[in-house]
Amino acid sequence: MTGLDPALASAYARCGRIAREHGKTYSMAARLLDREQRRHVHAVYAFCRVADDIVDEAGGRDVEETRAALADFGGRFRVDLAAGHSDHPVLAAVVHTASTLGIDPDCFSRFLRSMAMDLDTAKYATWDDLLDYMDGSAAVVGEMMLPVLRPTDAAALAPARDLGVAFQLTNFLRDVGEDLDRGRIYLPQEDLERFGADPQARTTSPEWRALMRFEIARNREIYASADRGIPMLPDRSARCVHTARVLYAEILERIEAADHDVFSVRARVPGRRKLAVAVRSLLRPAPGSPGDPTAAG
């Protein structure tokens, strides 16, 4: 990468590989950004992915060993960030991105706090309880991405947080079965009780469908709130965010098309569809611009 020393360029390249392997939708959307923005997106994504994998891919470690590994990763990041450099194969890029863009270190701490919650918390009683978790696991990611996207208005903060929450709630709805395998339920217990739905049964009962319709409607309201921020972004950033937003929201349509079965079928947006949406975003007026006939939708 031009202007970077070989070790730092290698760290960014590694982050790019992590993003392309595990975050295909984000990676597709990030292609619409310039090279510098793209590498910063990859660095933030890789930080989140590595921390998440410490918790979710623990292998034979017990909970306390996993907790210690996560704490070591966070501690290494904080020390390296204070020093302004790192020789860690991923954190070298993350530290450079955080320092270059002035990302608030508290954002990373809040993210790690939510990852640690996964070691102790298997379910959430209320929507507000789940939102507290998502503040660190999702909304804060929107905050970290804002300096990359270079908004023209400080009011873009709240929509960016909303978009992070909307993306993660979509993941929660799609991945109910996988999360059950890890012993977790990311749907409010109050909602399950209200509809009489039992995810442990892993069946698409009338009660389960009613629950999913409610959660999908909630998810779409959050996407609509997030859309307010797209016109506050420069053209490249607006195209990137709009592409990711469209593709992620389509997962909800695919859940509906599968009759809300998220146990035996994983809702996916095909690669060719992702490419088509990205190309269309390049060819049309930037979302939210005066020439865009559909605005953010």
CATH of residue 273's domain is 1.10.600.10
- Quick one: 75 and 220 in the same domain? no
- Quick one: 152 and 296 in the same domain? yes
Q: How confident is the model at residue 291 (pLDDT cuts 50, 70, 90)?
A: low
Average pLDDT over residues 175-189: 96
Average pLDDT over all residues of the chain: 93
What integer pLDDT is reported at residue 28 of this predicted model?
87
Name the residue range of residue 195's domain. 123-297
Total of domains in the chain: 2
- Quick one: 143 and 283 in the same domain? yes
* Chain segment 132-165, per-residue pLDDT in tens: 999 999 999 999 999 999 999 999 999 999 999 9
In the predicted model, is pLDDT for residue 295 greater than 50? no
End residue of a domain, out of 71, 95, 120: 120
- Quick one: 171 and 256 in the same domain? yes
Average pLDDT over residues 92-120: 97
End residue of a domain, out of 105, 120, 135: 120
Instruction: Please state, as a whole number, how many other Cβ atoms lie within 10 Å of the Cβ of residue 147.
Output: 18
What integer pLDDT is reported at residue 46 of this predicted model?
97
Q: How confident is the model at residue 279 (pLDDT cuts 50, 70, 90)?
A: confident
Q: Looking at 20-34, 61-75, 97-111, 178-192, which range is the least confident one?
A: 20-34
What integer pLDDT is reported at residue 297 of this predicted model?
39
Distance separating alpha carbons of residues 117 and 276, to the nearest angstrom: 38
Q: Looking at 96-100, 102-106, 124-128, 270-274, which range is the least confident one?
A: 270-274
In the predicted model, is pLDDT for residue 123 greater than 50? yes
- What is the percent of the chain where pLDDT is above 90? 84
* Chain segment 208-261, per-residue pLDDT in tens: 999 999 999 999 999 999 999 999 999 999 999 999 999 999 999 999 999 999
In the structure encoding, which two tokens stand for residue 108, read together? 């990373």
Record the pTM. Answer: 0.92
Distance separating alpha carbons of residues 278 and 246, to the nearest angstrom: 10
In the predicted model, is pLDDT for residue 296 greater than 50? no
- Quick one: 104 and 129 in the same domain? no
What integer pLDDT is reported at residue 6 of this predicted model?
94
- Quick one: 79 and 55 in the same domain? yes
What integer pLDDT is reported at residue 277 of this predicted model?
86
What integer pLDDT is reported at residue 110 of this predicted model?
97
- Quick one: 107 and 169 in the same domain? no
**How far does Cα 87 stand from its chain's mean position?**
26
What integer pLDDT is reported at residue 201 of this predicted model?
97
Cα separations in angstroms, 137 against 101, 134, 232: 20, 5, 24
Distance separating alpha carbons of residues 93 and 77, to the nearest angstrom: 11
In the predicted model, is pLDDT for residue 96 greater than 90? yes
End residue of a domain, out of 90, 120, 150: 120
In the predicted model, is pLDDT for residue 272 greater than 80? yes
Residue 188 phi/psi, 5-degree rounding, is: -60, 135
What integer pLDDT is reported at residue 270 of this predicted model?
87
- Quick one: 275 and 287 in the same domain? yes
